[in-house]
């Protein structure tokens, strides 16, 4: 495994790993523009009014779970976060000016889309959380697989599992046959804790081993980890995987001692809005 100096940019990283100068510039700019939309979409979801509205939706939160500290929390569900971000991204893409990079290159965004494959179809198809691609031939594409990290164990079991990063390193309906993909950690805690360092450490011991791991400047404000992987065992071109993270809060309901009625109500399908009304009227 090689380690490149930190603070190189994505264009340089891609050029160092087989891209021509022109392609490296094109793919790096495409990636920067696409991720800017998804970051704005996640920022919008996390605004208080949108996050509170999200929590009231059926399917947004899991069942209550008791934590060691005496709190009972509900964890946001992965596909619910994905659908909200995907919806906001679609709106942001539609609102772009006519001369914006993404409009000029006719870049289309999708979420929870089926992966086309020679071996799978219909209900047996895999789904990738986010994808962005230009309508032009031989243009860049970016497939993003999201995984929720609710505890440190989720880094190895989910993020680096067969249904996580393994979806790019397989011949069974790989999420992309192209040279670039991304993993997105939904880090869900009550403490705004990042798990990026754990992901970085996990890359060092991941099997099959990465050819290269490096910290890369995506734009003037953002540095991410990149890993480059040989895919010759699956007869695929090598791939660079971007490692991204967004942090989301869990929903703290109440201390354990006062939650028995609440917990039962939610498990029957009630929402926090219903419960608030019930308490107000009691």
- pLDDT, tens digit, 9 for 90 and up, residues 83-114: 999 999 999 999 999 999 999 999 999 999 99
Q: What is the pLDDT of residue 252?
A: 78
pLDDT tens-digit series, residues 13-62 = 999 999 999 999 999 999 999 999 999 999 999 999 999 999 999 999 99
pLDDT tens string 241-272? 999 999 999 887 765 454 445 444 544 445 54
Contact between residue 231 and residue 5 where contact means Cβ atoms under 8 Å apart: no
Q: Check whether 170 has a pLDDT greater than 90.
A: yes
Backbone φ, ψ for residue 259 (5° rounding) = -110, 0
Report the DSSP pairing between strands 127-134 and 141-149.
antiparallel
Q: What is the mean pLDDT of residues 188-200?
A: 93
C-alpha 146, offset from chain centre: 3
pLDDT tens-digit readout, 201-231:
999 999 999 999 999 998 877 899 999 999 9
157 DSSP assignment: I
pLDDT on residue 275? 46
Check whether 121 has a pLDDT greater than 70: yes
Pick the closest to residue 77 from 102, 60, 55 (CA basis). Answer: 60
Q: How far is CA 192 from CA 12, 167, 264, in A?
A: 32, 28, 28
Q: How would you label 197-218 residue by residue, b for 16+ Cβ within 10 Å and e otherwise?
A: ebbeebbeebeeebebbbbbbb
Q: What is the mean pLDDT of residues 169-187?
A: 96
Looking at residue 37, its pLDDT comes to: 98
Q: Own/partner pairs for 206-210, CB < 8 Å, 24+ apart?
A: 206/160, 206/165, 208/169, 208/233, 209/1, 210/1
- Tokens 């799978």 appear where? 120
pLDDT of 1 > 80? The answer is no
């Amino acid at each position: 495994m090689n380690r490149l100096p930190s603070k190189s940019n994505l264009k340089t990283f891609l050029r160092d790993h087989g891209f021509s100068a022109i392609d490296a510039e094109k793919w790096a700019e495409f990636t920067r523009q696409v991720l800017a939309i998804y970051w704005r979409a996640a920022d919008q979801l996390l605004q208080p009014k949108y996050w509170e509205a999200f929590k009231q939706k059926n399917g947004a939160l899991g069942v209550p779970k008791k934590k060691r500290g005496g709190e009972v929390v509900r964890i946001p569900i992965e596909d619910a976060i994905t659908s909200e971000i995907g919806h906001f991204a679609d709106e942001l893409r539609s609102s772009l000016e006519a001369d914006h990079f993404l409009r000029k290159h006719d870049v289309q965004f999708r979420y929870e889309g089926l992966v086309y494959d020679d071996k799978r179809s219909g209900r047996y198809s895999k789904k990738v959380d986010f994808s962005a691609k230009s309508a032009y031939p031989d243009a860049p594409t970016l497939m993003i697989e999201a995984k929720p990290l609710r505890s440190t164990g989720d880094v190895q079991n989910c993020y680096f599992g067969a249904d996580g990063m393994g979806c790019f390193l397989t011949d069974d309906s790989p999420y992309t046959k192209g040279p670039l993909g991304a993993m997105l950690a939904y880090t869900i805690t009550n403490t705004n804790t990042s798990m990026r360092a754990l992901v970085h450490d996990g890359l060092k011991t991941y099997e099959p081993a990465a050819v290269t791991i490096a910290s890369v400047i995506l734009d003037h404000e953002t540095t991410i980890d990149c890993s480059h992987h040989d895919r010759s065992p699956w007869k695929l071109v090598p791939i660079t995987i971007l490692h991204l993270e967004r942090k989301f809060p869990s929903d703290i309901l109440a201390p354990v001692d006062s939650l028995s009625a609440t917990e039962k109500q939610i498990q029957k399908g009630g929402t926090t809005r219903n419960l608030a009304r019930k308490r107000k009227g009691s």
